[in-house]
Structure 1
């Protein structure tokens, strides 16, 4: 049995058949337990996650009914089926983390970062590309559409963006600045306040011989930061801007990556 949360919530059996997960509350509780796989999740946390504000008087019973439904769903598949157990003060979904795309993503990201730290940028970039390919859209996109807005989902999205930025750094180290420029153009438009993406875009443009465009990106990002957050760009972004103005040789294509 495999669980997918990097996109709409999906559960498939070992033959690839997709399971019917029931109504919104049951799907949401299952999704929340999958995000917290192998941890005891207190019932109080589940109630807070499922209801914005004061839960209705029947909330605990609704959670119990949903848990019973999830147990029936899981019990119908005996191929290394995960178990949803009652563990005071709540519930624990015991499952092999390798069957959850989120945990496979995290494992690949960790391996990619270790490779980059060891000086194997090409290998690291490949592993990070594989990790990011597991995403099919926003995490638990179908539940988000129903109004769910968990802090866990924002944290997971930040994990995705951080992995993406690490991959782009590795691509730059491999001399693929021209290849990633179109991707960075889109990313900096959708995430205008993420300074690391701006740094990467400016570097990619500068190394492609587009100094004026790199400086335009800086002005645009500075304006967005001032308008959106009331802040000047951070030191790293300001220093890169100055180095581009000075044609600093240290920001040219790395020697090992140049062709």
Structure 2
């Protein structure tokens, strides 16, 4: 389905429009629940690059190298200026409202920056929720921490910048965010275990334990949840599989922490 382009003749020009940038899955921008046409692949990549460094200047040479590499056209700076001009029109839609929540692509002496409220970018909302989830257990707020992690994971709708992964900058950012996702998965599991909610841990961890067979933190939480759910044999199997994978892939033994969980299950 082709994205809907913002109409040029919409009424109510002075009101503040709702805008969200969603890097999860296909990189997209929504204005008033309508999908904005971001233009050419290079134009989409430019906005994605600026989104990753939101509210910070991205140098012109970084933009050129990140998007065109060694194949930049002779008039690449003019192309970038044209892309920026079109992006400005797309992001502001038809509103003349110039409030702080209206994103702007601004020129600076070294390049360009995307000036935007961090709450309008789903990945930044995700990061703030993960950060909150990490902080709350130290205040004794386990249920609140688990809920913060849950809300963060609910925003995850696919690999970040999934349609732009042929660009190295997008691949690197997707990998960074995936590490944060795993931290949220582990953090929520830890909170749920301490709250005695073993069933939810067994239901939520299985896929990631299989996808990441070298992650001892996930294996540890999964083993504890399985054991407390009456699945001791499955818990011991996870330990043996993790130990075998670590030995084969990295040439190392399991950590003291995972070994302690194993011995606790054995009794």
TM-score range, shorter-chain basis? 0.7 to 0.9
Query: Quick check: 2:130–2:180 contact (8 Å CA) kept in 1?
Result: no
Structure 1: segments with no counterpart, 5+ residues: 248-259
Instruction: Give the drift of 1:60.
Output: 3.7
| Range with bigger deviation, 59-68 or 94-103 | 59-68
Report the equivalent of 1:251.
Answer: none
Change (3 A) 1:60 1:239: farther
> Which of residues 219, 237, 242 is equivalent to 1:198?
219
User: Equivalences for 1:108-187 in 2 at 5 Å?
Assistant: 108-144=129-165, 147-150=166-169, 151-187=172-208
Report the equivalent of 2:70.
Answer: 54
The answer to whether residue 233 in structure 2 is matched with residue 209 in structure 1 is: no
Query: Quick check: 2:214–2:246 contact (8 Å CA) kept in 1?
Result: yes
Query: Quick check: 2:64–2:72 contact (8 Å CA) kept in 1?
Result: no
How many equivalent residue pairs?
242
Structure 2: segments with no counterpart, 5+ residues: 1-18
Instruction: Give the drift of 1:107.
Output: 1.9
Query: Quick check: 2:130–2:184 contact (8 Å CA) kept in 1?
Result: yes
Instruction: Give the drift of 1:182.
Output: 2.9
Report the equivalent of 1:18.
Answer: 35
Instruction: Give the drift of 1:4.
Output: 0.8
Q: Distance in 2 between matches of 1:2 and 1:198?
A: 36
Change (3 A) 1:168 1:77: farther
TM-score scaled by length of structure 2: 0.84
Instruction: Give the drift of 1:68.
Output: 2.5
Q: The residue matched to 2:168 in structure 1 has which SS?
A: coil
1:111-136 Cα distance to aligned partner (Å, 9 max, x none): 22222221111111112111111111
Q: Distance in 1 between matches of 2:226 and 2:91?
A: 51
Query: What's the C-alpha RMSD, in Å, of the aligned pairs?
Result: 1.8
Instruction: Give the drift of 1:76.
Output: 3.0
| Range with bigger deviation, 38-47 or 69-78 | 69-78
Query: Quick check: 1:109–1:127 contact (8 Å CA) kept in 2?
Result: yes
